[in-house]
Structures are given as C-alpha cells and as structure tokens.
Chains A and B, each alone.
Chain A
Amino acid sequence: MPEARFAPQEILLPVKAGHIAISLMVALFLNLLPWSGVWLWIKPDFVALVVLYWCIEQPRRVGFVAAWVLGLFMDVADGTLFGQHALAYSILAFAGIVLHRRVRMFSGTPQVIHVVLLLLMNDLIVLCIRLAGGADFPGFQYFIGSFTAGALWLPLGALLRLPQRHA
C-alpha cells in the first residue's frame, strides 16, 4: 500500500503481471490450508485481503474479473453455494477501486481502519446470503478474521512491495 503523501516517497518499479498472479495464487493456497478449530476463526480471508490490496494499489489492472473468478474458486473449495463469495468479492473490489485514492492518502492506523471496515462489509455480505439460505448465525467470532486481516495489512503491503524495489 502506498506511503502517505507527506512521507519521503520511494520510486517503485512497475508491477509485473506475474507478480500479481503469484500473490493471488498464494492467497488462495493459504485459504485452502487445513485450518481447524480456533485457527479457523482467527484466520483472515487471505484472498479478500490480497484482492483488496491490489484493487487499491493497481485499480486499473486488478479488479472485478480476478475477484469474481477467485470467489467462484472459494465457493467450490468450501462446498458452498455457487456465487456467494463471487458476489462478496465483487463488491469488495468495487469498494477498493472507488476508494483507492482516499485510502492511499492515509498511512498506518487510519488506513488499517478503512481496510477492516471493508473486510467486515465483505463478511457481512456472505453472512446475509447464508442467513437468507436458512443457516444459523455462527456467533460473533465469525468477524474475528477481518481484524486479524487488518493487523496483517501493513506487513502484507511491505511484503508485496518488495519485488518492486530496485535491486
């Protein structure tokens, strides 16, 4: 994620498409790890996190198509209704693209707050679809993952920007 405008700016290399694709693949892989028990609650939705990162960082290159296709894959992997993650990720991508200038103006904590709220909205969409489908409310621990994701936002940004630095 970009630095605040007032901090001394780094000039980064342009992002390579392969780099974006690999980061999205790794996110999908992390989501597919056999999480269980408490870890399942704490675990952030890595795909949502990385999709949101790229939508804010590269809104012209990563957007709806990637978010939607990854959503379909998540639905297949979880054995849930086809399209619920696709819908949630599409709306997340929209929010990321629309808000990207605003979010990038902030640094540190305010940026994390934005991200957490967007991811909570993502959770809420999935929750609404499931409740409409007749499921029970799984409890408030359902939302913990988004806060973990917020904590991971700054380290993730530093990590994903590494290949863009000059050697």
Chain B
Amino acid sequence: MEHSPPPFFKTGPTPLARLLIFSALSLAFLIADARFNYLVSLRQVAAVILYPLQRIAASPASIVQRIGDFFVTHGSLRSDNARLTHENFEQGALLQQLKALEAENAQLRNLLAARDRLPIKVTTAEVLYAARDPFSRKVIVDRGSQHDVLPGQPVVDNRGVVGQVTRVYPWLAEVTLVTDKGQFVPVQNVRNGLRSVLGGTGSDGTLELRFVPLQADYQDGDELVTSGIDGVYPPGLPVARVTGIERSVEQIFARITCVPLGGVAHYNQLLIVNGTPSLPPRPVETQKAPRSRKSRSG
C-alpha cells in the first residue's frame, strides 16, 4: 500500500513518459550500433565492467573439469600414454617426409622465384562460453587485445577452421563460428582445385557452398580447404567435407551441403592465427572509372 501514494506526491515523469525516453534511447543505440558502428568504446567499457562476473560464471565448469581430470584412473592414463606414443611414432615418420617435402617445395619455389609461404603463428585460447543467443553462432574466448588478438583473425583447432574473431575486448574476444549465417570462407576443393565460397547456414553442423554452377565437379566426400585468396585465412587449412549434392534443373545453382571439419560445436582449446598472410600489394588503379553520381552532377 505504501507503493501507491496520492498522485500529488508523485515526482518525476509518468511511467509512459519514461518508457518513451528509454525506448527512444534504446532505438538510438540500436541504430547507432547497427548502421554507424559508433558506441565501440561504450561497449568496451561495459565489457571491462562485466569481465570479472564473466570469469566467475565460467569457472564452475572449469573447476568441475579439473576435479574430473584429477580422478583419472591408472588404466586410462596408461592406455592414453600407449596411444599417444604410437601416434607420435607414426606422425614422426610423416613429419620427416613433410620436412623433406618442405625443403623440396622451398627449393622449387626459389627456382620459380615465387614468394615463400609464411609460417603461421598461433595463440592458444580457451573457450569461456558459447554466446547465449539462439540467433547466431558465436563463442567467447579468453584472449583479447591485451594478447595481440585483432578482429578478423581466423580461428582454427587441431582439425580445421572454426571461425573468425569478430570483436575484441581487452581480455576477451568474440569468435563467430563458420556455421553462423553471415560467415563466409573462401575455399578450394582439394581433389580438383575448384574455388568457391562456403557459407554458414545458422544451424550447427551444416555449411553450404554458395553460387556453384549446376555442372561443377563436386562429389560426396570431397574435402574443402581454405584457398587463401581472401588475404584473411592462410591457404590450405581444412574447412569442411561435402556430404550432400542436390542438382535440380529449376535452380541456377547446385545445392551442396557440407559438414565442418573443425570442432565447431565442441568446447576445447582453439588457436587464433596471428600472422596475417602478406599478399602482394593491390594493383594500382590507373584509370578511375567515372562515378555515376559525379558524372550526373558535373
């Protein structure tokens, strides 16, 4: 009852006026953020305030995991060890081959006077949590601008490309997964070198090749790697495997669905690729095409 004072004691604007003020403010923020990319610094400030809470909230899961790690049995450790030794042995042989091939490749590239492929530098990052947003596929990792992470850097795991850094906070970064609806990766078919663009569909575990002509040579099981022509992803990283091809005459493009090879939906360690592949400078535009608006006004 103390909540409903007589109207003449009331101070401040009415709820409706307040609603209008705050709605207008929210809408202004929405438009400023969506259209003009203002408010970046405000977002950074809010992120820093929120950071301790985020770290604390992410800790129960990691504590549970650590306790689980502590109570492993002797048997599982021994079998793990045996398996890893075996894998190490097998991969050692492959690595020796790879080294020989690398040397040969470098020599051939020298002969052809081609540019060297830069070695990739990576930063390890741990996934703190997946964004609780049913509309997009994003994860938050525990490395940020303090660890030299920049927006636009590709993110991979031990099996393939996972996504791309889209927003960076001081100690955190937001990674948009390849399965997000607006995320595209330029890829190349390993079997025949066909290039195309792989896009996310917004659902976990499905990717789609965009704008592939009906007659294009794709088969089930084809492996797709990054083509590297975009200057963002280093070339040759595995991205996806083709799982379904639908060619219907009614459509202009073939519908080719793929599954991502990287552990896109799993929580584990990720690698943020630091070294930006250095591309040759863009050719200088010698003759600028006259812009239509100018030609109209002038």
Contact = CB atoms under 8 A, between A and B. Distances in A.
Interface stretch (A25-33, A109-117, A151-159): A25-33
A72 interface: yes
B47 interface: yes
A150 interface: no
B251 to A, nearest CB: 20
Nearest to B133: A78
Nearest to B45: A76
Given A76-B50, A135-B181, A101 B19 contact: no
Contacts of A142: 134
A141 to B, nearest CB: 8
Contact of A34 (B50, B57, B174): B57
Contacts of B47: 76
B30 interface: yes
Contact of B132 (A40, A60, A83, A97): A40
B207 to A, nearest CB: 15
A64 B129 CA distance: 29
A124 interface: no
B138 interface: yes
B175 to A, nearest CB: 10
Interface in B1-39: 3-4, 15-16, 18-19, 21-23, 25-30, 32-34, 39
B202 A81 contact: no
A115 to B, nearest CB: 18
B56 interface: yes
A83 B60 CA distance: 29
Contact of B174 (A73, A79, A138): A79
Interface residues of B, number: 50
A152 B54 CA distance: 24
B53 interface: yes
A80 B28 CA distance: 15
Interface string A125-161: 0000110011110100010000000000000000000
A32 B46 contact: no
A82 B32 contact: yes
B43 interface: yes
B18 A64 contact: yes
A34 B30 contact: no
Of the candidates B21, B42, B133, B174, the one having the most CB atoms from chain A within 10 angstroms of its own CB is: B133
B129 A34 contact: yes
Most central of B3, B39, B54, B58 by chain A CB within 10 Å: B3
B29 A82 contact: yes
Contact of A68 (B25, B33, B129): B25
Contacts of B174: 79
A86 B34 CA distance: 15
Interface in B126-185: 128-136, 138, 140, 166-167, 174, 181-182
A31 B50 CA distance: 12
B23 A91 contact: yes
B61 interface: yes
A34 B130 contact: yes
B18 A34 contact: no
B135 A138 contact: yes
Contacts of B136: 79-80, 135
Contacts of A122: none
Given A29-B56, A40-B132, A138-B134, A84 B30 contact: yes
A73 B50 contact: yes
B3 A86 contact: no
Contacts of B134: 40-41, 138, 142
Given A82-B43, A98-B15, 13 more contacts: A29-B56, A32-B50, A34-B58, A41-B134, A63-B18, A76-B43, A78-B131, A78-B133, A79-B131, A80-B136, A81-B33, A87-B26, A94-B15
6 contacts: A68-B22, A80-B135, A90-B23, A90-B26, A94-B19, A138-B134
Interface of A: 25, 28-29, 31-36, 40-41, 43, 58-60, 63-64, 67-68, 71-73, 76-84, 86-87, 90-91, 94, 97-98, 100-101, 129-130, 133-136, 138, 142
